[in-house]
Amino acid sequence: MSESGVLIEGRLKQLERHLEQENPVLLDTVRGFRQLDRIAYRMGLLERDESFATHISWWPLIAVLGTFSSGKSTFINGYLNERLQRTGNQAVDDKFTVICFNREQTAHALPGIALDSDPRFPFYQISDEIEKVARGEGSRIDAYLQLKACPSEQLRGKILIDSPGFDADAQRTSTLRITDHIIDLSDLVLVFFDARHPEPGAMRDTLRHLVRETISRNDSGKFLFILNQIDTTAREDNPEEVIAAWQRALGEQGLTAGRFFTIYNPEAAIPIENEALRNRYESKRDADMGEIIGRMQQVEIERAYRIIGALEKTASDIEDRVVPTLRQTLALWRKRTLIADAVILGLLLMGLIWLGLSFDLWNSPPAWLSGPTGYAIGFLLCAALAGIHFTVRALTARGLIRPLRHKEKGLGIRGDLIKAFRRSTRPWRSIFFTRPAGWGRRTRRQLVEILHQTDNYVQRLNDRFTNPSGAVRNAPPTPPAEDGSKGHGASRATTWG
């Protein structure tokens, strides 16, 4: 096993040791990912030093997105009870900030390379992805990311990600690429809007990118859309109409899922002199804030279901997307190769016929054609045809790489479809093989078994977090936190690796 392969194996074993105490159900999912890895190795979807388990985040993640000056940082500071993030009416931070727990009394800020180079965090090697969409930007990872750690107990067992606003154009492509990456990994996404600015271009951009895209997602319920600084509408003749206008704006973008909340920071709120109106605003704010905080506190449960869903989706994608795509591409490769072979062979036959007619070789063939020289010429001709065939195979396969890469992006699958195709078109594989390399009845049975296991995992999670029958049962023991206190079971979720 290579050095990088040993590293991956070490990470998986350390993860298993952690999950053995925290969540046995997720421990079994690691084993499921190992089974998928072996299938992917045979098919060429993964290198031996890779694992599907490292393509997802095992931390409960909460993403905080939105426009500039929409109150994201103020909300985070209030939630943590720490003045960690800078606040203001203008753009005060243009980086993605990953916020995690530490035991020290003071907060620390670290550069983006601390995230890009540490496989324990969900931004490991994100610089490579940035480089793909913006050449030269991958080396400027510190301009995009930073890591902050603080001792807030609210952070135990989870990670918060504060995003820059969407108004900036200078790094828009790379910023949206990182945003998409965050959304895919997160268990809960809080999308903030500023009630004071109902019609900025940034709001429309955010709606287009964050709201419209949720329609086709199977996890759209994890989006919470938050209209912040709603206290500023208290002086309007009809503040409910302001809220209704925002709801219509979301509806126009096709929002069919997710929740819509209205909140404001009581410390920075404008005075509301009318007592009845003030009570109404405070009641609505407290109810919505309570539901938002409740969802944030339940993020560990959503994390468990997300990881099982990722295992199920990866297994399903191999059979439902990867294999059909590879079959279609291999069929097209075979067709193009055979056509090219036929054209070249036809041209050679026409050349031979022309030579035979020109030199009258058919009526009076020279004696040397029937001797050893003739056999040598025949052998060389067959070798040349074989060389031409394999050259044609390679060229036609290379010509299909670019369209296959576009398909890969559209499918949104984990694993490398290009490498799997190349593995299936190696010189010693016949062009008449109709199935991809590594795929067969045995592999399909293994995938069916993994999918069956995911159903069992979900049932075990349901038994852990629900009790429809109402029967009394012993609750699973909660492991102590590392500081010796009776902490949450996920208190060490940011320490593995």
State the DSSP string of 83-94.
--S---SS----
Nearest 10 degrees: CA dihedral of 10, 14, 20, 24?
-70
pLDDT band at 207 (very low <50, low <70, confident <90, very high): low
State residue 212's pLDDT score. Answer: 62
Radius of gyration of the chain (CA): 30
* Nearest residue to 487 (alpha-carbon basis) of 189, 101, 107: 101
Q: What letter does residue 59 receive in the DSSP assignment?
A: S
Q: What letter does residue 170 receive in the DSSP assignment?
A: T
Nearest 10 degrees: CA dihedral of 479, 483, 487, 488?
-80
Residue 37 CA to residue 177 CA, distance in Å, equals 26
CA-CA-CA-CA torsion sign (391, 397, 401, 402): positive
Which pLDDT tens digit goes with each residue over 279-313? 888 888 899 999 999 999 888 888 888 899 889 99
Which pLDDT tens digit goes with each residue over 154-198? 888 788 988 876 554 445 666 777 787 788 888 899 988 877 665
Helix 24-43 with 3-22: angle, nearest 10 deg? 150
Which pLDDT tens digit goes with each residue over 330-377? 999 999 999 998 998 888 888 877 766 676 666 666 665 666 776 677
Q: Which residues contact 278 (CB under 8 A, 6 or more apart)?
A: 234, 272
All domains of the chain, ordered by start, with CATH?
A: 3-54+445-464 (no CATH), 59-314 (3.40.50.300)
Residue 159 in 3-state DSSP? strand
Residue 26 CA to residue 34 CA, distance in Å, equals 13
Say if residue 100's pLDDT is above 60: yes
Q: Could you tell me the pTM of the whole model?
A: 0.71
Say if residue 70's pLDDT is above 70: yes
What mean pLDDT is predicted for residues 239-261?
68
From first CA to last CA, the distance across the chain in angstroms is: 19
Please work out, in degrees rounded to the nearest 5, the angle formed at the alpha carbon of residue 189 by the alpha carbons of 185 and 194.
145
What are the φ and ψ backbone dihedral angles of 431, each rounded to 5 degrees?
A: -70, -10
Residue 171 CA to residue 148 CA, distance in Å, equals 22
pLDDT band at 4 (very low <50, low <70, confident <90, very high): low
* Nearest residue to 178 (alpha-carbon basis) of 216, 220, 140: 140
pLDDT band at 454 (very low <50, low <70, confident <90, very high): very high
One DSSP character per residue, 97-129 reads EEEEE-SSSS-EEEETHHHHT-TTSTTTTHHHH
Say if residue 218's pLDDT is above 60: yes
pLDDT band at 489 (very low <50, low <70, confident <90, very high): very low
pLDDT band at 492 (very low <50, low <70, confident <90, very high): very low
Alpha carbon of 87 to those of 64, 71, 90: distances in Å? 14, 8, 8
Mean pLDDT of the chain: 77
In the β-sheet with 188-194, what is the strand arrangement from edge to edge?
Answer: 108-111, 145-150, 96-101, 159-162, 61-66, 188-194, 223-228, 259-262
Residue 378 CA to residue 372 CA, distance in Å, equals 10
State residue 442's pLDDT score. Answer: 94
